[in-house]
Structure 1
Amino acid sequence: MKYPKLVPERVCTTPCTVYRTDGLNRDGSKKRTVIFEGKCFHSEKARQKLSAEKQLITLSGEALFCGDIAPDSPIIDGAVEIGGREYKIYGSEKAKNPDGTVNYTRLELI
């Protein structure tokens, strides 16, 4: 069965690059690898969220992607570069269809 795309390709117009930070380089800086380079739907909406440590965190927006941008990992962490500005990934969500395939990916940005 074919399911509707909740984030269609036609609304993904903002060029972006998603980086995963894992491990350290020789100089002690974090190693960055590109996991996605393409277009997304970027929404700059500030909102506040309470963390597990009861700290108030201000999110600066979110990025929506059509489909699964990182099929090899269930959790996406690292950074996103959109329009020359770099955002840190606070949370990620992969919305799934009833058959288990990923419909869209949502990243919460700080």
Structure 2
Amino acid sequence: MRKVIVMTAILALTACGQESNDKIQPAKVASESTTVQVPVAHWALEITQGQRATITDTTGRLIEHGFNNFISERDGVKHFLIGPYATEAQALEAQEQIKLKPKLEGIETNVVELPAAK
């Protein structure tokens, strides 16, 4: 009986050592890579002109409902944008979500492509 217990313990310890070495090798390989590709956001929703609410009121309502917004200046003109989004499909989905929320009624948007970063 003792021999069986000792053999089982030896096998268990051997197997444990094997697994830990297998886990260490992939970790070393993963730490060697230095290139990381981050998705770039190229799309946003532009709030159209003619809004009756102030920017602070609109910003507060958007933040309340989980929509990030920012002001971008292009060619000397300030644009009030929601986003940014990685794909046009994500921007269109956010535009639909805004239309469905009663407290965001009156906020009209257009999907716009953001200029590439220089």
**Same fold by TM (over 0.5)?**
no
Of Structure 1 and Structure 2, the greater strand share is in: 1
TM-score (norm 1): 0.29
Larger RCO, structures 1/2 (Cα 8 Å, 6+ apart)? 2
Of Structure 1 and Structure 2, the greater helix share is in: 2
TM-score (norm 2): 0.27
